[in-house]
Structure 1
């Protein structure tokens, strides 16, 4: 906070109401006024700027500096990661590797309950980790439809499955971004990542059971129980270990790959009593050699290897102050303000993905650098608007933090006292429902959660993780997710129907997160 007081009216209720204007207006723009996200973000950036400067008395230089700092972080590292992740996916598709990869998954079993676990759950989670931003829902829903699932059914199943992976989409950005927000109490992204391991594993373990139940009831669960346990157990335990000891970056990369691989091996020795077919007939799957299948996965092996190296403490130490590569971190003051920013040229996660993409091109005959860089240009062209939106939202978050708006809101919500942790996930749920993004949600509301935690004496990292978990449950019904899902399966215009199909599961999962967070708040 760079102002003398977060209560310019000497009335906390009035000050907090004014501080809430950017958030309330943002929600109204997206719902009542039905504005596009980019326009809503830019309009609210302007309004927040004037509220911060004129009402909360943040000096002009600091106000401009806040927006510049947020914009820089929106481009680097966040935008950098987004572009690199989607670029690697496009390389995989255009090189033909992705078609082979898809066939290799679908060909493991003809039982469509098991195909749902492989594609709807495991592959969905992996794509969420590798690309995110609607890619997993779109691709996996189409894959399931090609295997005989009804369009809206496939969309619903993929949306529900995404509840197990949405917190760590696109190389862990939703959690990683909390480390850039200067949260109250010095909460880091690693703190939040570790705290998610108290809540998300319970949900992760349950969702594969729910998916099978939705297409074949209790009978289906009984007949496929060993396979479900392989997937649920492997994914849940592995992700919990990674989030606690390594951080968020690989939490949706290694666990789904490992779960998928172990299930494939397991199914060579075990078969369900009955082969479940939705339409009563098998779908023919093109066969590929083991060599081709292994090669088809290479972009994602490389992605995992490079990100693993980038997450190792000895590697990170190279870029710390006094480290051999510390010079690759460009730190600079923002003119006219007391703020500074930095750009990590090499240690940024985006660079790890960039190297995975370059190595994939070098080792793939069917694609060259000329075509690869055309894909990069296309990716930048496709994502510049979402990145500008992220920059605007980060600018809003910085203004709210430095001008004291976040502190005012935190003080106000903290007046609910010990009951606040019960309501904390709902704030995240609302944020994602309105913005369609756990990244945007955490950017807007994580500072409020952290401030409230400090005031009421609850671990701030717990409340930020609750904000994340609650937000993930809204991905099942956020207008952005619903629009992507219906468009992918050719059912545009049936958004209301799909929302109705997923709403009860979103509410039920949110209710669990609220109650569980409240219980945890009495411990931490």
Structure 2
């Protein structure tokens, strides 16, 4: 049996926290400074974390290896299965030419690329985050942006930056639910406070997206639309999380943003639209040529019948419908009844207090987001009349394209589990919790670190929620505020998570350039983190204490 310790270095928590930070430092330096490919950076950081777990924390070698396998296995349903099927759906629509129809349809709302990015990456991406979470919004938004003519690198960066404010309430507010369970604090109160923090970030993100696409010129040209989108999203998220339903906060915010922005565009247009040449459809041979011929015909014609427009939107309407139906209590219960759970072999771990640490592996396949996307993909093949052989070929090509991305995800999830179960992550969180009154500023940083490691706000809340409450009690701060800050800080850590970077790079065809993407988004991640940290600090004082419920 292995018992976690959080101060193995000379009994000093501060020194232990510094040592525990080394794997993360290795990961980010290899990505951002040396520009290593994500899979090699992830494997290197994993090796360092395993070495520290054994040599510093005293974790047995067998348990360390088993922990890495536990983390890698957990990545299948939570990341890999989602990514493969999300990209498959896109390739199905692309190969038939219907994604070109969708692209032209979006141009009908606005032919300005800067506004299209707000609609797709911010509003539509938030809706996907509300229903599915994980990597779904990044994967689907990025490929849609490419189809609209955005360069692959910008599409990847924009999709990552856009996937911020909705994260705390993703998958029908599962992160807030987890936070409530691990802290024992009221679910509604936590959601209300998080909504009063992330809604501030939401008001800024559309302006950031416009800047990413077209720099200062773009901000000057379309700031009214960006402000309307941000205010509408922020107001929707605030109202739903505080007065209507925490679970529906992202859905309300996404719909509010879309409705108000579309209405605003009926009375306002930028003086000069930013348009680019559409990306042509590229499809390989299928043997029959029928699907590709139809795709080429649709692309050349540039004239979209009502039927083709409906078919272009249907795959994504099906995705939304499938996820909504899967949340019905009776269906959710039925799907969950087939879950397989077992204790992961080779692990026997207790916490610092002697309480057993759960190491149960849950294979809940049917309600998994990736499974629901696979079902949506099968329906898409039927609607778009893609021959089964061609659909299978596209699926195989998709898996092959993602080979190195899958290696990256496996290594990073293994890294997260080794750090978590050995006690390294606990050392980091508890080290920051010793900062006294200044902890209010650094509280969101803990959530940011948690999401950067695990790629999940839900996991970060599970890891650090109780730490936040303990630190709040020791420093005289509000436990509700500090716990909510963990989730709010985590939302801006999502864009630098290696899992998110790997997904974004893979779907836009930039495998191996994860380091370049990281160097671009880290600036925005740190800037937004500083904003949230300052907001939480001021909310802990009379200056902005009035913002709290």
Q: TM-score, normalising length from structure 2?
A: 0.71
3-state secondary structure, aligned to 2:109: coil
Classify 1:102/1:440 alpha carbon distance in 2 versus 1 (closer, same or farther; 3 Å). same
Cross-structure match for 1:276: 272
Note the alpha carbon deviations across 1:171-212, whole angstroms, 9 max, x for none.
Answer: 958986899999964799999877643322223234446667
Q: Does 1:411 align with 2:421?
A: no
C-alpha separation between the residues in 1 aligned to 2:260 and 2:52?
A: 54
Deviation at residue 274 of structure 1 after TM alignment: 7.1
Deviation at residue 302 of structure 1 after TM alignment: 0.5
Bigger shift: 451-460 or 407-416? 451-460
8 Å Cα contact 1:2-1:58 kept in structure 2: yes
> Pairwise CA RMSD of aligned residues?
4.8
Note the alpha carbon deviations across 1:293-312, whole angstroms, 9 max, x for none.
Answer: 12210010000011112233
3-state secondary structure, aligned to 1:332: strand
Gaps of 5+ in 2: 277-299, 349-358, 473-478
Cross-structure match for 1:84: 85
8 Å Cα contact 1:164-1:207 kept in structure 2: yes
Q: Does 1:370 align with 2:389?
A: yes
Deviation at residue 342 of structure 1 after TM alignment: 1.5
8 Å Cα contact 1:190-1:247 kept in structure 2: no
Classify 1:353/1:239 alpha carbon distance in 2 versus 1 (closer, same or farther; 3 Å). farther
Cross-structure match for 1:6: 6
C-alpha separation between the residues in 2 aligned to 1:87 and 1:279?
A: 28
C-alpha separation between the residues in 1 aligned to 2:86 and 2:232?
A: 25
Cross-structure match for 1:391: 410
Cross-structure match for 1:332: 342
C-alpha separation between the residues in 1 aligned to 2:519 and 2:430?
A: 35
Cross-structure match for 2:328: 312
Note the alpha carbon deviations across 1:431-451, whole angstroms, 9 max, x for none.
Answer: 88xxxx785376996676436
8 Å Cα contact 2:156-2:508 kept in structure 1: no
C-alpha separation between the residues in 1 aligned to 2:269 and 2:79?
A: 47
User: Given the alignment, which residue of 315, 323, 327 partners 1:299?
Assistant: 315
Correspondences of 1:205-224 after superposition (within 5 Å) = 205-208=203-206, 214-215=216-217, 221=223
Deviation at residue 6 of structure 1 after TM alignment: 2.4
3-state secondary structure, aligned to 2:362: strand
3-state secondary structure, aligned to 1:341: strand
8 Å Cα contact 2:326-2:332 kept in structure 1: yes
Deviation at residue 469 of structure 1 after TM alignment: 2.8
Cross-structure match for 1:140: 145
Note the alpha carbon deviations across 1:6-30, whole angstroms, 9 max, x for none.
Answer: 2233232333333222222223333
Correspondences of 1:29-178 after superposition (within 5 Å) = 29-110=30-111, 115=116, 117-118=118-119, 121-122=122-123, 131-133=136-138, 136-137=141-142, 139-140=144-145, 143=148, 159=157, 163-166=161-164, 172=170
Q: Does 1:342 align with 2:342?
A: no
Note the alpha carbon deviations across 1:63-117, whole angstroms, 9 max, x for none.
Answer: 2332222111111232111212111122221122211011011023456775565
8 Å Cα contact 1:333-1:341 kept in structure 2: yes
3-state secondary structure, aligned to 1:375: helix
8 Å Cα contact 1:124-1:140 kept in structure 2: no
Deviation at residue 162 of structure 1 after TM alignment: 5.3
Note the alpha carbon deviations across 1:222-276, whole angstroms, 9 max, x for none.
Answer: xxx5x6676445544555677784759x94x886577446655665xx3337753
Note the alpha carbon deviations across 1:25-61, whole angstroms, 9 max, x for none.
Answer: 2233334444322112222223322322333222344
8 Å Cα contact 2:195-2:241 kept in structure 1: yes
Q: TM-score, normalising length from structure 1?
A: 0.74
